[in-house]
Chain A
Amino acid sequence: MLRLALKMLFGDRAKYAMLVCGLSFCALLMSQQTSVFCGLLLWTTATVRNIRVPIWVADSKVEQVNEVVPMREVEVQRVRSVVGVEWAVPLFWNILQARLPDGTFQGVQLTGLDSASLVGRPAKMREGRIEDLRLPNAVIVDQVALEKFRKRGISLKVGAVFEINDKEARVVGICETERSFLGQPYVFTTYSRALEYAPLQRKLLSFILVQPKAGVPVPELLRRISALSGLRAFSSDQVAWDTLVWYVRNTGIPISFGTVVLLGIVVGIAIAGQTFYLFVHENMRYLAALKAMGASFGVLAQMVVLQAFTVGFIGYGLGVGLAALFGNAVLQKGQPPFYMPWQILAFTGVVIVFICLLSALVGLIKIARTEAAMVFK
């Protein structure tokens, strides 16, 4: 009977297509939008992954990695004095305006690394050597800078020159970084030179990057640093997580994406539920005939549930597949952001199962309420 139930479903091509389209659209909207949302959130923590150190120390008011409350440089020494710290180095990070050769301006994320150790250096160099950062006025730019400059007709190569705060910045290398939420390119230089580029302020230290001694537990060291310096110490995971939470709580991004996802679910329920109801309604005479011929409610329920889940399975596959194709295309371009972990697939699957159950339930209620005798009317 189950084979025949599927034949019944596939035979009604118009409703079958409508059901699959509705569920595919719902699955596509949910998985694509949540993937873009996750990708966007992932971008907010790009600096953590680009710098790659186990412990971040910042002013006690700092809540996330894209927020800077400058500290005095003496804080580096205080952190170095904490028992269990292998090393501690300063990091300058801020958004400054770069003046391009054509006179236009471009915001950049200026990242000043400790010149001795170059801790926080980019993971991958496309051109040039990281050590060349120690040369006069040297900066290393990332691939985003190449794109941004190219859009303005400027070909950025090793040896090119632009200005930051009226001071020369000479490109000595090109690196690859993870694109950040803020959208501006990363420009790496040494800490001391970054202070020259930065506008004059009493305090200029953005973060202190710390490596624990071997065998020292990170949570214990975080506690010690906070207690001794009064600063806020994060593990890299914690600062990333706090950043995600901050963006969720303080921006309209979740509401914006959540609304689209909710609309997808509502549209899915409306299309699938209504079409499936119509499908059952139009087949009611035949289902009543089967009931009269001895089909129990259990058999009819199995048939209806199989039909609902078959369109659900196909719709889910198509929707998620299309979202993955979209993701594949945009990941090659670099934007918009896209990150599809298995949890998104599971979430979409659960919602589709819910819609299928709801649709089947609507049909089953109608079947249960129908007397087999209707077949004689």
Chain B
Amino acid sequence: MSAPPVPDFAVKTAGLGKTYSNGDSVVHALKSVDFEARCGELLMIVGPSGCGKTTLLSVICGTLHYNAGAVTVFGQDLSKLSQGKLTAFRGKNVGFVFQQFNLIPTWTALENVTVPMLLNGSSRSEAEKAAAALLKEVGIGEKLQALPTQLSGGQQQRVAIARALVHEPRLLICDEPTAALDAASGRRVLELLKERACRPDRCVIVVTHDSRIFSFADRIAEMEDGHIKAVHGPDACQSLYV
């Protein structure tokens, strides 16, 4: 049997709109966003604060409801999923790397990494085996039993990356993954993402302000005032680096 065909687009949005009510006023966070992320690429979303980057990311990964348009992730129309199925879809197909890592402080590095597998129904021993192997791969195999507070910022982000990848998700969502890191640690995190996450059947979307890491992107989508202003190809990515 042949492997299932890889869809051209990992994420596709059409006329995507999201509004927030704030008392009497209405804020249009996303204004008819047409956006595509391809399989096998690392796409960065950049733009000034408040332009709608995080809202777009939240909608794409199914953690925020939208008001207009459509979102398709690996061929699945998110609007057709109930809340429970959306949660299950997210658990199986999406990995997260957060700005503040969000590692649970009372759990060891190993336990933090096992979470996505446990949520997907794996046994504890199975999850711990996979988590330990991945933590070794990302270079902190000797820190399996360390608590997050015993790790440096760079090490914590490596644990977070391991947690995002352990259940083999097809879409990796990274929200400002280098914001809390120094330049060298930030570069190492992006190298790790490029090395471990960028596969032909996967897609990595990174929201960032950090121009030092633009060179790692395959494409960069620039956002402004709730819409995509421009999408830059691989060649232009280098020139955007300041």
* Interface positions of A (Cβ within 8 A of B): 1, 3-4, 7-8, 10-12, 283, 285-286, 289-296, 299, 371-373, 375-377
8 example contacts (A-B, Cβ-Cβ < 8 A) are as follows A4-B111, A7-B107, A8-B104, A285-B102, A293-B91, A293-B163, A295-B119, A373-B63
Flag if A376 contacts B120 (CB, 8 Å): no
- Interface flags for B47-66 (1: CB within 8 Å of A; 0: not) read 00000001001100101100
Q: Given A7-B107, A289-B96, A376-B54, are A294 and B102 neighbors across the interface (CB < 8 Å)? A: no
Q: Taking A8-B104, A289-B98 as contacts, is the C-beta distance between A294 and B91 under 8 angstroms? A: yes
| A11 with B98, Cβ < 8 A, contacts A292-B61, A294-B119, A371-B63 known | no
**4 shortest interchain CB distances as A-B pairs:** A294-B91, A11-B106, A372-B63, A373-B58
Number of A-B contacts defined by CB within 8 Å: 79
Does chain A have a CB within 8 A of B116?
Answer: yes
Most buried by B among A4, A11, A283, A299: A4
Q: Is B115 an interface residue (CB 8 A)?
A: yes
**Contact B63 A292, beta carbon cutoff 8 Å:** yes
The chain A residue sitting closest to B84, CB to CB, is A296
Shortest CB distance A289–B (Å): 4
Chain A residue contacts of B79, Cβ below 8 A: none
Output the nearest chain A residue to B108 by Cβ-Cβ distance.
A7
User: 17 extra interchain contacts, Cβ-Cβ under 8 A, other than A12-B106, A285-B100?
Assistant: A1-B118, A4-B118, A10-B106, A283-B104, A285-B102, A290-B119, A291-B63, A292-B61, A293-B115, A293-B116, A293-B163, A294-B92, A294-B94, A295-B87, A375-B102, A376-B98, A376-B175
Tell me the complex Cα distance, A98–B41, Å: 102
Q: Which residue of chain A lies nearest to B93 when distances are taken between CB atoms in the complex?
A: A294
Residues of A within 8 A of B92 (CB): 294
Q: Name the CB-closest residue of B to A9.
A: B106
The answer to whether residues A376 and B84 also contact, given A10-B106, A290-B115, A371-B64 and a CB cut-off of 8 A, is no
Check A294/B87 contact, CB under 8 A, given A289-B96, A371-B63.
yes
Bound form: Cα–Cα A8–B112 in Å = 11
Residue of A7, A291, A371, A372 with highest tally of chain B CB at under 10 A:
A372
Instruction: Give the size category of B's interface with A.
Output: 20 to 34
Judge whether B90 and A292 touch: CB under 8 Å. Answer: yes
Interface centre among A294, A295, A371 (most CB of B within 10 A): A294
Contact check, B116 vs A4: say whether CB atoms are below 8 A apart.
no
Task: Give the distance in Å from the alpha carbon of A255 to the alpha carbon of B125 in the complex.
Answer: 56
What residues on A are CB-neighbors of B175 within 8 Å?
Answer: 376
Chain A residues whose CB sits within 8 angstroms of the CB of B63 once the complex forms: 291-292, 371-373, 375-376
Name the B residues within 8 Å of A371 (CB-CB).
63-64
- Asked if B57 and A376 make an inter-chain contact with CB atoms under 8 angstroms apart, the answer reads yes
Of the candidates B94, B102, B111, B119, the one whose C-beta lies within 8 Å of that of A286 is B102
Residues in B with CB closer than 8 Å to A294 are 87-88, 90-92, 94, 116, 119-120
A375 CB to nearest B CB, Å: 6
Does B7 sit within 8 A of A, measured CB to CB?
no
Annotate B107-147 by CB proximity to A: 1 below 8 A, 0 otherwise. 10001000110111000100000000000000000000000
- Tell me if B105 counts as interface (CB < 8 A to partner A): yes
Q: What's the minimum C-beta distance from B128 to chain A, rounded to whole angstroms?
A: 12
A292 engages B107 (CB within 8 Å): no
In B62-78, which residues have CB < 8 Å from any A CB? Answer: 63-64
> Which of B63, B99, B111 is most buried by chain A, counting CB atoms within 10 A of its CB?
B63
Q: What's the Cα separation between A10 and B111 when bound, in Å? A: 15
CB distance from A288 to the nearest CB of B (A): 8
Interface centre among B57, B119, B124, B175, by most A CB within 10 Å?
B119
Contact (Cβ within 8 A) A11 B105 = yes
Which residues of B are found within 8 Å of A292, using beta-carbon distances? Answer: 61, 63, 90, 96
Is B64 a contact partner of A373 (Cβ separation < 8 A)?
yes
A376 to B96, CA, bound (A): 10
Q: Quick one: which of A291, A293, A299, A377 has the most chain B CB within 10 A?
A: A293
B119 touches A293 (CB 8 A): yes
Instruction: Give Cα A291 to B98, complex, Å.
Output: 13
8 Å CB interface, B139-169 against A: 163
CB of B131 to closest CB in A, whole Å? 12
Task: Give, as a whole number of angstroms, the nearest-CB distance from B95 to chain A.
Answer: 8
Q: In the complex, what's the smallest C-beta–C-beta distance from A84 to chain B, in angstroms?
A: 73
- How far is it, in angstroms, between the C-alpha of A89 and the C-alpha of B12 when the chains are bound? 100
- Which residue on chain A has the smallest CB distance to residue B89? A294
The residue in chain A whose Cβ has the minimal distance to the Cβ of B120 is A294
Q: Is the CB of A1 within 8 A of B119?
A: yes
A285: chain B residues at CB < 8 Å are: 100, 102
Complexed CA–CA distance, A283 and B106 (Å):
11
Which of chain B's residues have a CB closer than 8 A to the CB of A3?
A: 124
Q: Is the CB of B96 within 8 A of A293?
A: yes
For residue A343, give the distance in angstroms from its CB to the closest CB of chain B: 39
Q: Which of A7, A372, A373, A376 contacts B106 (CB 8 A)?
A: A7
Residues on the A chain within 8 Å of B84, using CB: 296
Closest to B100 in A: A285
Smallest beta-carbon distance B81→chain A, Å: 13
Q: Which residue of A lies closest to B92 (CB)?
A: A294
Chain A residues with Cβ below 8 Å from B99 are 376
Tell me which residues across on chain B come within 8 A of A377, comparing CB atoms: 54
A65 to B94 Cα, complex, angstroms: 76
Contacting A375 at CB < 8 Å: which of B87, B98, B105, B124? B98
Q: Which residues of B contact A8 (CB under 8 A)?
A: 104, 106-107
Question: With a CB–CB cut-off of 8 A, which chain A residues contact B105?
Answer: 11
The chain B residue sitting closest to A285, CB to CB, is B102
Complex contacts, B90 vs chain A, CB 8 Å: 292-294
